[in-house]
Amino acid sequence: MPLVQITMLAGRTADQKRKLARRITDAMVEDAGAKREAVVVAFHEVSKESYASGGVLMADK
Amino acid sequence: MPLVQITMLAGRTADQKRKLARRITDAMVEDAGAKREAVVVAFHEVSKESYASGGVLMADK
Amino acid sequence: MPLVQITMLAGRTADQKRKLARRITDAMVEDAGAKREAVVVAFHEVSKESYASGGVLMADK
Amino acid sequence: MPLVQITMLAGRTADQKRKLARRITDAMVEDAGAKREAVVVAFHEVSKESYASGGVLMADK
Amino acid sequence: MPLVQITMLAGRTADQKRKLARRITDAMVEDAGAKREAVVVAFHEVSKESYASGGVLMADK
Amino acid sequence: MPLVQITMLAGRTADQKRKLARRITDAMVEDAGAKREAVVVAFHEVSKESYASGGVLMADK
């Protein structure tokens, strides 16, 4: 019953998330032996003011 | 100091979340020996385009 | 398809986690309208050196 | 490649998050030996109806 | 700078995780436009006593 | 009641985590207006086989 949680910047389309969910679920089934119906994928989208790398907000890059 | 984080589809009312927070905290206190004031419950709500099971977005079901 | 993730100090027994999983799932079904088979509960257990409140590790309290 | 995820009530300004990201990244570099460019900080902001302590929503306090 | 966090039962081999990390990163690059070097994948592995679906621990199924 | 969750490679000492918890809590209090006693910091430590960047496990770098 794998849970896949993805934190990323907001702005991807539903279609991009559709493809990601399918491919990531395929990988969990084929490479980790998970049951397809048990794989959950959730996207947590954050704004550029809520995401930093190297100590600098994405909004400031 | 247990942290309870719940990821679910958006759409529940404040009253539903109020009841969930109380019951889940009761369970943590009564069954896990946690101190009531130390239990934190946070709800992360996602849209139907940001949640998939079995590789299919909830928006497509 | 609610995901409930609980971060707490290690040391609870399987039986305590069994009761917590059942009660929390009951709450999600009865108060949030979730389907029982779709509720996932995961416990992430951390040591006293990996948990702090008020800026002080639990190991130092 | 440390990931720092912060769940807090919505309402902080971009400037507050800017300072937090910088200070927390500094701490990861100086005290944990992380490489600066590898530290990621993400803020997950929740409403007062989605956050409870002691079993009571922040909206009810 | 997407963060992919996977919670699953312990027991997968390093090689399974190696393949998962590569395929999931490929998906993030090809379908979400992420930069390869910025994708982080972390596996959080839990025991059968720490994972439940439908209110029942995996250890009891 | 901010929750700070840090995912990083295992191997830091208790003293490193002690300093991180204190500095990060100081930042939350001074820059985000949090109450000191309400700040929780949890470290989730993963092995080199459970952590990847750029699609490559840390164990393979």
pLDDT tens digit sequence for E2-42: 999 999 999 999 999 999 999 999 999 999 999 999 999 99
F and A make contact (3+ CB pairs below 8 Å): no
Give the residue on F whose Cα is nearest the Cα of E7: F50
Neighbours of chain E (3+ CB pairs under 8 A): A, C, D, F
| Placement of tokens 């969910």 in the chain | A21
> CA dist B7 to B40, C2, D32, Å?
14, 6, 30
Q: Which of A41-45, B1-5, F27-31 shows the lowest mean pLDDT across its residues?
A: B1-5
Spell E30-59 as b/e; 16+ CB within 10 A means b.
ebbebeeebbbbbbbbbbebbbbbbbbbbe
Average pLDDT, chain D: 97
Interval D9-38 mean pLDDT = 97
pLDDT tens for each residue of A8-22: 999 999 999 999 999
Can F59 be counted among the known catalytic residues? no
Which CATH architecture does the domain made up of B3-48 adopt?
Answer: 2-Layer Sandwich (3.30)
The contacts found for D54-57 with CB under 8 angstroms, 24 or more apart, are D54/B25, D54/B36, D54/B37, D54/B38, D54/B39, D55/B21, D55/B22, D55/B24, D55/B25, D55/B26, D55/B36, D55/B39, D55/B41, D56/B21, D56/B22, D57/B14, D57/B17, D57/B18, D57/B21
Between CA E51 and CA C5 the distance in angstroms is 10
Interval D4-10 mean pLDDT = 97
| Placement of tokens 């130092």 in the chain | C60
C32 contacts on B by Cβ (under 8 Å)? 8, 12, 16, 20
C3-9/C40-46 β-pairing: parallel
| Placement of tokens 């001074």 in the chain | F30
Average pLDDT, chain F: 97
Interval A27-43 mean pLDDT = 97
A and D make contact (3+ CB pairs below 8 Å): yes
Interval D39-60 mean pLDDT = 97
CATH number of A3-53: 3.40.640.10, 3.30.465.10, 3.30.429.10, 1.10.150.570?
3.30.429.10
Q: What is the CATH number of domain D3-60?
A: 3.30.429.10
Across the strands, what pairs with F8? F45
A50 contacts on D by Cβ (under 8 Å)? 17, 42-45
Nearest CB to D54; choose among B25, B44, B45: B25
Residue F5: both structure tokens together: 């969750």
Per-residue model confidence (pLDDT) at position A24: 98
- Is residue D36 exposed (0-12), middle (13-18) or buried (19+ Cβ within 10 Å)? middle
Between CA C30 and CA C32 the distance in angstroms is 6
Give the residue on E whose Cα is nearest the Cα of F53: E40
Nearest CB to B50; choose among A26, A37, A43: A43
| CB spacing of C3 vs A3 below 8 angstroms | yes
DSSP-derived letter for residue E36 is G
Domain positions in chain D: 3-60
**Strand arrangement, sheet containing D56-57:** D56-57, D51-53, B40-46, B3-9, C3-9, C40-46, E51-53, E56-57
Confidence of residue D1 (pLDDT cuts 50, 70, 90): confident
What is the ipTM for the molecules in this complex? 0.96
Which among E51, C8, B56, D41 is positioned nearest to A7, based on CA atoms?
D41
Q: Is the pLDDT of residue B1 over 80?
A: no
Q: What percent of chain D has pLDDT over 70?
A: 100
Nearest CB to F41; choose among C44, C52, C60: C52
Which among C34, A32, B6 is positioned nearest to E8, based on CA atoms?
A32
State phi, psi for D35 to the nearest 5 degrees. -80, 135
pLDDT tens for each residue of C3-61: 999 999 999 999 999 999 999 999 999 999 999 999 999 999 999 999 999 999 999 99
Per-residue model confidence (pLDDT) at position B22: 98
Which CATH architecture does the domain made up of E3-51 adopt?
Answer: 2-Layer Sandwich (3.30)
B–C CB contacts, 8 A cutoff, strictly below = 75
Q: Is the dihedral of CA C17, D9, A42, F56 positive or negative?
A: negative
Residue C15: both structure tokens together: 């039986």
Distance from CA of E13 to the nearest CA of A (A): 9
Give the residue on C whose Cα is nearest the Cα of B27: C20
Per-residue model confidence (pLDDT) at position C1: 73
Per-residue model confidence (pLDDT) at position E12: 97
B1 contacts on F by Cβ (under 8 Å)? 40
pTM above 0.90, yes or no: yes
E and F make contact (3+ CB pairs below 8 Å): yes
Per-residue model confidence (pLDDT) at position D52: 97
Per-residue model confidence (pLDDT) at position C39: 97
| CB spacing of E43 vs F54 below 8 angstroms | no
Interval F4-15 mean pLDDT = 97
